[in-house]
Every structure is written in C-alpha cells, then in structure tokens.
A and B are shown apart, each in its own frame.
Chain A
C-alpha cells in the first residue's frame, strides 16, 4: 500500500507565477489536509478537504491560495501570483474516516522556492 504521494518534490517559481502542488492520498483515504511549514517552524494547518468538498479552510490565506479534491484524481493546492514569502515546505496528509484511531499520514512534502 503506497503512502501519501506528493509531487513535485521541489518546485521553483519566479514571483508572479503560479504554483500547483499535487497530493495523492493513501488508498482508501477520503480526507486530505494541507499544511505549510516555514523554515525552522512547526507545521501550520491550511485546509481540510473531503472528496469534492472543502470542510475547513480556516488556515488558508484569503487571497491567491485555493485547494480542491476532485472526485477523480489528486488534491491540488494552487498558489497564484507567488511571492517570496510563499517559499516553504507544503505537506499533505490523509486519513481514512472519522473515528478514534484517525491518525494522519503525511507525504514527503513539496518544497516551493520563489525566486
């Protein structure tokens, strides 16, 4: 059973370009979460999605950031008109269903560098 997959692992963009980060959850998992980690800091929650629905986006910046988890295919975190402050590691996690043992399984992350 493959783990959570993220691609690309490294992404370089110039200011003003768009960044698209992809996350494929573990097989059978219908819940996806995105976190951002700035250098030397802990992970910060961004958004929680189920298939075709955004459940909680309280951690998402109000502008330029969007996320989706379509019925088919991976979850996408999209950052429009990137700025240098968007440089960070972006981690995706997935979990199966609600319940007592619902630990989140994390992917390897995408490291975004904005030049």
Chain B
C-alpha cells in the first residue's frame, strides 16, 4: 500500500500557482519524497524529489516540512497542459525495487 495520502482532486485557475499537498506521516529517515505526474493515457513523468531540504527545478518546487511528515508540490504558474494526476511517493532512493503509486491527486487547470 502507498505510504502517502493525497486529496482526490483539485482545481486551479490557469496562470495561478497550484499547491498540491501530500501527507507521509510514517516516512523513514532514509526515504525520499518523489513526485510524478501522469497526463491522460501517457506514461508517468518525473517531476522532482527531495529528502529534507526544499527543492526547485524548471518544472516545480517541493516544500518539505521540518518534521518531514508532509510536503507540498508547487507549480508556480499552472497551464492547461499541467492538467494531470499527480503522484506523491516515498521511497528509499538507493533501492531501485519499485515505486508505490497511490491514487494521486487529479489536478484540473481551468481557463
């Protein structure tokens, strides 16, 4: 079973920031937080990952709380093409075994 809890769905206005929360209260010290998204019928796409520090790349920012029990993925200026299911996953980075995908959050960006 997935170790994360995410809202089922969220809406966001085009051009505004989309903030997607994720709870991972049982995260272990050596587990990273990964975010992927899946645009309709496509393969999942890697977005970002982090351990305890906040991370930013060209796609998004990841804010992890100090106790690491929750995190927020931020898409700074959402576009219609960001409409997708967003998955928050916790895993040990050094273990390549598998990723446990939950149901994710279905983000709908509206014009």
Contacts and interface: CB of A to CB of B under 8 A. Distances in A.
A104 interface: yes
A93 B102 CA distance: 17
Contacts, number: 62
Interface residues of B, number: 22
A48 B34 contact: no
A102 B96 contact: yes
Choose among B95, B98, B100, B102 the residue with the greatest number of A CB atoms under 10 Å from its CB: B98
Contacts of A89: 41
Q: Give chain A's interface residue range (CB within 8 Å of chain B).
A: 20 to 34
B101 A106 contact: no
Contact of A106 (B44, B95, B103): B44
Interface in B73-111: 87, 93-104
A55 B97 contact: yes
Interface string A28-65: 00010101000001111100100000011011000000
Given A55-B97, A56-B97, A106 B49 contact: no
A45 B46 contact: no
B28 to A, nearest CB: 16
B108 to A, nearest CB: 16
29 contacts: A31-B96, A33-B96, A35-B101, A42-B2, A42-B101, A42-B103, A42-B104, A44-B101, A45-B100, A48-B96, A55-B96, A55-B97, A56-B97, A58-B98, A91-B43, A93-B43, A93-B44, A95-B96, A98-B94, A100-B94, A101-B49, A103-B46, A103-B49, A104-B46, A105-B46, A106-B43, A106-B44, A107-B43, A109-B42
A-B pairs with the 9 shortest C-beta distances? A106-B43, A45-B98, A42-B101, A43-B101, A103-B46, A106-B44, A56-B97, A100-B93, A91-B43
Interface of B: 2, 34, 41-46, 49, 87, 93-104
